[in-house]
Chains A and B, each alone.
Chain A
Amino acid sequence: MIRNEVLQSLVPVITDELVICNIGSPSQELFNLDDQPTNFYMLGTMGLCSSIGLGLALSQSAKVIAIDGDGSVLTNMGTLPTIANNVADNFVLVIIDNGSYGSTGDQPTYAGKKTSLTAVAEACGCENVVECKAEDTAEELKKALASNQMTVIVCKCESGNVKVPVISMNPIVIRERFMAEVQKRNA
């Protein structure tokens, strides 16, 4: 399974949750599969998906799913200790670990070589870290959401992207329609 197929399997599991989606192909693929006002698409800023997700989860009560990538987490490795030490039980970080920088031409990442992000997350102090095969990701996400405990899911999948257009939506429109959903859930 490649990322797009993993995302497709997650779409039915994501019901009322807020989603922060990683820059580039992940956001474009999710937008193409199932655009929702509860999706916040990152149009720039490599690495900060998990940080935006944590900040959002700590600040309000609705459940937050950050759909991140291995390359992005490697870019912002400092995020894992911050997540571990500021527990938000309404937060699930899904790291789609395809061992490559997908949006830039599938160059290999160190997570596809000797580095285990699962072990890194655990060593950083994250308490509920699950590594799974791509086809089990939806089930693991379902479990994580039901557990009401902050969870990091590392989904091991194949490298590859589907051809989808760049998101043309204005960033302010993305943010404002997203914030309207956040407000609805915290009214």
Chain B
Amino acid sequence: MSNISERIVDDMIGAGIDFVTTVPCKQLAGVIDLVENTDKMMHVPSNKEDEGMGLCAGAYMGGKKPCIIMQNTAIGVTINTLATLIQYYQIPLPMLISYRGEVGEPVACQVEMALHTKALLAQMHIPTFHFHKKHDVEELSDILAYTQMCKKPTAILTDASFWRAA
């Protein structure tokens, strides 16, 4: 897992991501550790994902390229913020998401939000990318560039199979 986490953080740095807010998840713990320990990014942990998106909006207007790291459960928390702040003001925001509740998930309750995740993202017209196989990570750099180009929130869903293979 450490190699893939390093690859992800290297790609983020390579894409100019320099402000990251996080709400933790076990699957993304390695990525969060690296974000915390690099001097190439400012890491501001947030208490809730909508708060984190507020931080990212401010950081973007301050000249940074922000990214939020969170669980898919956060989609339920952030619909209004995505619509009325991130989308309405056209703020590029890659969301690196731990896609809990897919095959390999040990906690039954996580399945409940997994069932809604892609439907909600589709309803919100958010470009969505699903990392299921190890090699899916190869698209990350392009996704990050695409996010800046279109000035939209984008969702990168990383599931248990992806992390197990990594």
Contacts and interface: CB of A to CB of B under 8 A. Distances in A.
The answer to whether A and B come from one shared complex is yes
Contact of B47 (A50, A59, A81, A186): A81
A128 interface: no
Interface size on B, as a range, is 20 to 34
A59 B51 contact: no
B63 A55 contact: no
A44 B84 contact: yes
Interface residues of A, number: 35
A59 B19 contact: yes
A50 B53 CA distance: 12
Contacts of A186: 62-63
A186 B44 CA distance: 21
A75 to B, nearest CB: 9
Contacts of B46: 51, 78, 82
Determine chain A's interface SS by DSSP, over half rule.
helix
Given A59-B19, A60-B63, A82-B47, A51 B89 contact: no
B70 to A, nearest CB: 14
B23 to A, nearest CB: 10
Interface string B49-72: 011111111111111101000000
A60 B62 contact: yes
Interface of B: 19, 42, 44-48, 50-64, 66, 80-81, 83-85, 88-91
The 6 closest A-B pairs by CB, nearest first: A55-B58, A51-B54, A59-B62, A44-B84, A78-B47, A48-B54
